[in-house]
């Protein structure tokens, strides 16, 4: 019952956000914009999305290295499977599946692999929030779009709280595990739970080792830079001339708003975040809607296709992935 309610709320939110974008456009102009797309430019956007995924998979390899060497091909494959699952399942369950699969394919401790998975989200949060801080002066322009401004600020605070709580948990688990256990369960942890906690702690070995931390941060910024470039080339495909800062802010808005894991495939949240970011830079809503629709469709179809390919490669099925969530 609770699951169905969550899905219903997610669907309603998606429809409402899609209306805020596609319910306010001139469809004749919208179709004209879509028909004028330059496919070669969209091809570059697709390549940039592949680079984005590859950089994130390489970062995962760096984070896992203090625990155990992992094959890049396995990491890339499980990344695509996770993205594909996120396209169809709510609450970013694809990330949980990804952690489960890498533990299985590379013979990692599941607890350690999930620790590194959370570390990835931590680094993404740091990258996005630091970028958000650098471009915070643009928030003045957002004052003209109050609803978007409030949503972005709320999501930013939500992301900041998650980031700080994760950092606190990392510090306690890494340097004071006994205190962490006492704070979270004063009555005492079972021996099995302690084993899992210390396996999780192994997944944080990168945290205070500069040879892993610095490359991970560099890869984080490069991966999101390539994503912003993908937005830029998609805009260029529709002959929309915008400064790169507009694409970068669009990337930040998408990342910040989609931390609220309500809609499968980020449908609605993604389109509203990117469209209203571009409108701030004098892009018409018809053009902004076309860019957000096509770029999201590129990411959705690309990751779904690659995810299905890797499912076939690993002799897995979508139903087996859903079962893994219950294990």
pLDDT of residue 291: 96
pLDDT of residue 260: 65
Nearest-angstrom CA–CA distance, 197 and 172: 11
Return the structure tokens found at 294: 């096509």
| pLDDT tens, position by position, 168-212 | 888 888 888 888 888 888 888 888 888 878 777 877 778 778 888
Q: Which of 218, 43, 54, 192 is nearest to 127 (CA)?
A: 218
Work out the average pLDDT over 30-42: 94
pLDDT of residue 32: 93
If one counts every other C-beta atom within 10 angstroms of the C-beta of residue 140, the result is 9
Of 50-64, 94-108, 131-145, 260-274, least confident by mean pLDDT is 131-145
pLDDT of residue 190: 84
Work out the average pLDDT over 299-314: 92
Query: Does position 135 have pLDDT exceeding 60, yes or no?
Result: yes
Query: Does position 148 have pLDDT exceeding 70, yes or no?
Result: no
List the domain boundaries for the chain: 40-324
Nearest-angstrom CA–CA distance, 135 and 81: 33
Work out the average pLDDT over 276-302: 93
Return the structure tokens found at 101: 């699969």
Query: Does position 31 have pLDDT exceeding 80, yes or no?
Result: yes
pLDDT of residue 201: 80
pLDDT of residue 139: 56
Of 149 and 100, the structure prediction assigns the larger pLDDT to 100
Judged on CB neighbours under 10 Å (0-12, 13-18, 19+), 137 is exposed
Q: How far is CA 225 from CA 112, 165, 221, 232, in A?
A: 28, 26, 6, 10
Q: How far is CA 9 from CA 64, 143, 226, 325, in A?
A: 36, 28, 32, 21
Of 115-124, 252-261, 270-279, 297-306, least confident by mean pLDDT is 252-261
Of 222 and 151, the structure prediction assigns the larger pLDDT to 222
At residue 9 the predicted structure's pLDDT band, cuts being 50, 70 and 90, is confident
% the chain with pLDDT above 70: 87
- Range of 118-132, 161-175, 274-288 with top mean pLDDT: 274-288
% the chain with pLDDT above 90: 32
Nearest-angstrom CA–CA distance, 251 and 225: 9
pLDDT of residue 55: 96
């Amino acid at each position: 019952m609770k699951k169905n309610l969550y899905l219903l709320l997610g669907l309603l939110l998606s429809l409402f956000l899609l209306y805020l974008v596609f319910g306010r456009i001139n469809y004749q102009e919208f179709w004209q914009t879509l028909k004028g797309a330059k496919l070669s430019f969209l091809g570059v956007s697709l390549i940039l999305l592949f680079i984005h995924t590859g950089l994130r998979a390489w970062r995962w390899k760096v984070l896992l290295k203090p625990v155990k060497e992992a094959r890049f091909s396995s990491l890339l494959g499980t990344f695509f499977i996770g993205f594909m699952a996120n396209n169809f399942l709510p609450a970013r369950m694809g990330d949980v599946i990804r952690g489960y699969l890498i533990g299985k394919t590379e013979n990692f401790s599941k607890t350690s692999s999930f620790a590194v998975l959370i570390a990835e989200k931590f680094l993404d949060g740091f990258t996005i929030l630091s970028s958000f801080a650098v471009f915070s002066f643009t928030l003045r322009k957002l004052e003209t779009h109050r609803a978007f401004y409030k949503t972005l600020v709320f999501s930013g605070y939500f992301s900041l709280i998650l980031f700080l709580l994760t950092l606190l948990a990392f510090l306690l688990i890494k340097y004071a595990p006994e205190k962490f256990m006492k704070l979270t369960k004063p009555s005492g942890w079972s021996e099995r739970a302690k084993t899992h906690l210390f396996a999780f702690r192994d997944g944080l070995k990168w945290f205070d080792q500069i040879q892993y931390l610095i490359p991970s941060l560099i890869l984080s910024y490069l991966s999101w830079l390539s994503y912003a470039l993908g937005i830029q080339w998609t805009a260029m495909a529709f002959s929309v001339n915008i400064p790169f800062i507009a694409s970068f802010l669009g990337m930040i808005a998408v990342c910040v708003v989609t931390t609220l894991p309500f809609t499968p495939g980020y449908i609605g949240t993604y389109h509203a975040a990117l469209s209203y970011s571009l409108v701030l830079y004098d892009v018409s809503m018809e053009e902004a809607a076309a860019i957000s629709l096509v770029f999201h469709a590129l990411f959705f179809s690309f990751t779904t296709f690659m995810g299905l390919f890797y499912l076939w490669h690993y002799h897995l099925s979508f139903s087996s992935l859903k079962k893994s969530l219950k294990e």
